[in-house]
Amino acid sequence: MPHVRTCGILPGERIKRSVAQTKMTKLDSKKPQPAVPGNFFNEMSAHELERFLDFVSRFMTETQDTLLLGMPAREVPIMVQLMRSHLRGRLETPSSLIDGSGLARGTAHRLIEEMVEKGLIAKRPRTRSGKTFSLHPTRRMIDAWMNYVRRVKSLLGTAFGLSEDTDYFFGASYLATAAVAPLPVMPSKLNLPGGLRLLLHADAGFMAMQKLKRQFEMHFGTEIEVRALSIDRLHREILDNAGRGQSRYDLVTCDVCWMEEMIQAEAIRPVQILDGGEARDLMDFHPEALSTVQRDDILYGIPVQTTPELFLYRTDIFEQQGLEPPERLGDLLECARRLHDPARGMSGICWNGARGTPVGTSFMMLMADFGQPILNLSRMGNGFRDQQLAGKELVPMLDSPEALEAAEFLVEVLSWSPPNVLQMSWYERARCYADGKAAMAYSYTQILPLVENHPELPSFGHTGYLPHPTAPGIPRNAPLGGWNICVPSNLKSARIGDVSLAARTLTSAAATKLYIENGSLVSSRFSVCNDPVVAHGRPVIATVDKMARAGQLQTWARPAVPQFNALVRILGEEIHTMLLRNKKPAAALRDAQARCERAMGL
């Protein structure tokens, strides 16, 4: 077994971010410090913790009302309210916390002061005088809740037949059954004259759906007409279709980052949820995927593909060279330098460098790896709030230090990339890696059948999957992409009922399992990821499911704004010009900032 060592950072390397080590607050401190959102939720995502808080709140209410008892732990409503606000990045004052607790004002005020004395709640001054202040959970409170979550999850898991050490996502449908049942027979065929008309993205994931076209035609009792377009043509066609008197399509697939634009353009309509069973079924979706279609209590589509961008590396090559996979961007550069060997046809790393959307998207995600979204988003939980943005949140951040670090990183990594990297988009980079021409790569999971389904290729069975490497001090994550099935707003009203049924069927757990059995490697559902048939021989599915449970799937790298496509196009032009050495990084970012500000209407 060769000696394993971590790739060191290059001398003179540009990633010099200092890592501030936050001191641990003593439990008996008289002035405990408020916790920073996102620092203490590594073992459980913010979405899962919110579900647990809802469970505790409802459980306490049921206990009180059903058993006719007084509140056994009166502090719980206050703690639940404070923890929820902390996760959502919402400020709590004494008045708002008292009102939200549902307790008598005098009782709530006394309990808050007692929890301050115990070091559970921190007061943060809002003015210089200190007369007004906000309230925050301390690390002691957060640690207590995390310990409580672990204990209760274990108790509930064993009660439902899981072993004590089984990891599961609280509130998901793992406990329903181990294996997803086959697609049930429809009691009557769909009443859709002319058949079901689908507008899809032309990629490997949807190819599995097209392979099953005949099976779904038998299931629905009607013909299916499919039109598949490239990403930019698909975006234009959905908007063009919205301008027609009547939709040409029954269902369209929308990129998750187009949703805000399509909602505001009224190109898509809310999806009908008919009963409580269907509402409960939504809990089976990965929360970040579901968040892309939800606006308040309205559902504007249903997730059909959850496809994060992962970091890929050749496990056999890393073992031969005695290297560990990089966790930080500096380590990535060093590994790329050491493994780059053009004489043997091996590049260090391949990535999306083609002009336009490919390199524009790459730069957005790289900025996120340095800890800065492309827009001035507000922090929320362990990430940033990226929906329903307003005011200063819409300001581009291409003049930030992190943007310059990201630009200089791309210039440097260009030296260890394939000669044609500036012509590479999603398919080409995956093909380059799968064919054994690069030791590392970034890739969306929807394209990974190129790697996982071809035993004759050198990457087969020798690929590791990880979240993105990041700058020092920045949590690692996997930027979430994917597709939602949506109903056009101008669909003929007589078709809406049956079309909505078709949408729910095509995104069901049974249908998702069928796609995977026919070559797909993406799932938006916990239950499908937990199916033993699905998990067997498909390590990337289990990896993504684990990232979802850990809260590492994030959408904020590509914020949901109507101007998203314009931002990507601008970056795709300016960054590509920079990589051709026709502009220096600072000049390219200065021009991109000015153009993006105009695109945002600033």
Single out the residue of 49, 207, 229 nearest to residue 141, CA to CA: 49
196-306+480-549 against 309-477+556-599: fold identical:
yes
Single out the residue of 216, 213, 509, 444 nearest to residue 312, CA to CA: 444
**In this structure, are residues 329 and 7 in contact, taking their beta carbons and an 8 Å threshold?**
no
444 strand-pairing partners: 309
Token duo for residue 218: 């038998």
The superfamily in CATH containing domain 196-306+480-549 is Periplasmic binding protein-like II (3.40.190.10)
**In this structure, are residues 79 and 141 in contact, taking their beta carbons and an 8 Å threshold?**
yes
252 strand-pairing partners: 199, 486
Q: Which three-class secondary structure state does DSSP give residue 12?
A: coil
Question: Phi then psi for 266, rounded to 5 degrees?
Answer: 55, 40
From the first residue on, what is the mean pLDDT of each consecutive set of 10 residues in the chain (602 residues)? Answer: 40 36 33 44 55 75 64 80 78 88 87 90 82 85 78 65 54 54 77 95 75 86 92 94 96 94 95 67 85 88 92 97 96 97 96 96 97 93 84 96 97 97 95 97 92 92 96 93 95 95 92 87 85 78 82 89 95 98 97 97 92
pLDDT score at 462: 95
Long-range pairs for 134-138 at CB < 8 Å and ≥24 separation?
A: 134/91, 134/92, 134/93, 135/82, 135/92, 135/93, 135/94, 135/97, 136/34, 136/35, 136/82, 136/86, 136/92, 137/34, 137/35, 137/79, 137/82, 137/83, 137/86, 138/25, 138/32, 138/33, 138/34, 138/35
pLDDT score at 65: 67
Q: DSSP class of residue 393?
A: G
Domain ranges, ordered by start, for the chain: 46-158, 196-306+480-549, 309-477+556-599
pLDDT score at 537: 72
Question: Phi then psi for 235, rounded to 5 degrees?
Answer: -60, -45
- Please determine, looking at this structure, whether the domain spanning 46-158 carries the CATH number 1.10.10.10: yes
Q: 451: burial class by Cβ within 10 Å (0-12, 13-18, 19+)?
A: buried
CA 86/CA 435 separation, integer angstroms: 46
CATH of 309-477+556-599, one of 3.40.50.1980, 3.40.190.10, 1.10.10.60, 3.40.50.1100: 3.40.190.10
CA 39/CA 305 separation, integer angstroms: 29
Three-state DSSP string of 404-450: HHHHHHHHHHHHHCCCCHHHCCHHHHHHHHHCCCEEEEEEEHHHCHH
Residues 6+ apart with CB under 8 A from 88: 380, 381
CA 463/CA 446 separation, integer angstroms: 15
H/E run at residue 276: helix 276-281
Please count the residues of the chain: 602
Q: 55: burial class by Cβ within 10 Å (0-12, 13-18, 19+)?
A: middle
User: How many C-beta neighbours within 10 Å does residue 330 have?
Assistant: 22
pLDDT score at 378: 92
pLDDT score at 171: 52
CA 341/CA 432 separation, integer angstroms: 14
